[in-house]
Amino acid sequence: RWAEPCELRRAGLLARRVEEVRGPIWGKLGSPKSRAPYLSSEKIVHSLVAAPTGAGKGVGVVIPTLLTYPGSTVVLDVKGENYEKTAGRRHELGDRVFKFAPYAKDRRSHRYNPFDEVAAAPERRRFSEALRLANSLVEAKGKGTESWVDGAREIFAATAVVAHERGTPTIAAVYDLLTEAGAPGQLLEGLAESTQSGEARSVFNRFAGQPEKVLGSYMSVLFDGGLRLWADPDVRDATAATDFWITDFRSDPASVFLCVSQKDLGVLSPLIRLMFQQMFTLLQETDRTEADRFDVLFLLDEFASLGKMQEMGRAITTVRSSGAHLMLIVQSLANLREVYGADGAANFLGNCELQ
């Protein structure tokens, strides 16, 4: 049964006035203009909202939350209206405001380079960090690709090491190295000869020795799984450097709006998926200090449309002490199960205390 108002109050899930709001707003026990209490709590770590298109998720949940949330926010803004309606208020609340919009008509976008963690890693860890980047970026698409995706990710990681060695630490540089003229086998042989990394050399030699058709399958999975996006000059520009650091958001509040139109979401999903997973896990792995007074709320509208995020699925079970909170927004639970399977969906549901 549905909880009664008195039960919600005892559970600490009601805020009588907007000044009392300390967490996300999930609704209101009355009409929008009434003085009814808000359904809100800072104690809920993760939540899930399921409602079809046009049901009011934006005006009823996302926008009220962005107008009031007292910490930092990272928002997937599919229509662009969240930025337009709440960026000014976020600034008034003390946030630095960033707009990541690779396809903005005015070509104005802040930048985020996912390669930074690879570049910052000590040499002995660089290949492992590059492989983790590949795991978040390269998705197995279509039937029959699952058996090829691990190899495709290894090729990406090895090439990322070479890109760093050559002083070009970007995913665009990885794309450029793997699209140089020549047969794929010869290309990998050349990379093997040039790298100083034993791990990268081993990967290149192993795959260069594969039959041409087999190697071609690995390369197809790599490019189709996400890397081909970096042929786009707008994406290359938006990921050439970094203008904001997620680990600073706990001490110096900020809001990032990832603005993507509905028609571009499918195209940009590899990049958006990578950014969310990387930022979320970075918060998980970075120790919180006394200066880190602010939590970080990730609002993921159209969550299932981004494709499967394995790192996010693992991190949600252990991220509670990091100050990172998730609000997942989907059109239906069936939509979530379609992408993550029954067990994966159950994992998210089991870790979302409010649904």
Please say if the pLDDT value at position 187 is more than 80: yes
Distance between CA atoms of 130 and 161, rounded to whole angstroms?
7
Mean pLDDT of 83-99: 96
Mean pLDDT of 243-263: 94
Mean pLDDT of 178-207: 94
CB 304 within 8 A of CB 338: yes
Q: In the prediction, which pLDDT does 284 show?
A: 81
Mean pLDDT of 64-89: 94
State which of 234-243, 245-254, 271-280 shows the largest mean pLDDT: 234-243
pLDDT in tens, 274-323: 999 899 888 888 878 788 889 999 999 888 888 888 878 887 887 667 88
Domain boundaries, the chain: 1-41, 44-112+243-351, 116-235
Q: In the prediction, which pLDDT does 227 show?
A: 97
Q: In the prediction, which pLDDT does 282 show?
A: 87
pLDDT in tens, 43-56: 898 999 998 887 78
Mean pLDDT of 330-341: 92
Tokens for 269?
């999903």
CB 144 within 8 A of CB 305: no
Fold of 44-112+243-351: Rossmann fold (3.40.50)
pTM over 0.95: no
pLDDT in tens, 111-158: 999 999 999 989 999 999 999 999 999 998 877 788 899 999 999 999
Please say if the pLDDT value at position 334 is more than 70: yes
Spatial CB neighbours of 207, under 8 Å, sequence gap ≥ 6: 151, 154, 155, 188, 215, 218
Average pLDDT, the chain: 91
Q: In the prediction, which pLDDT does 319 show?
A: 60
Q: In the prediction, which pLDDT does 90 show?
A: 96
Residue position matching structure tokens 């946030």? 95
Contacts of 139-148 with C-beta under 8 Å, sequence gap 24+, read 139/225, 139/226, 139/270, 139/273, 139/307, 139/308, 140/221, 140/225, 141/221, 141/224, 141/225, 142/224, 145/221, 145/224, 145/225, 148/217, 148/218, 148/221
Mean pLDDT of 3-10: 87
Mean pLDDT of 33-46: 89
Please say if the pLDDT value at position 174 is more than 80: yes
Domain at 116-235, CATH homologous superfamily: Magnesium chelatase subunit I, C-Terminal domain (1.10.8.80)
Pick 282 or 67 by higher pLDDT: 67
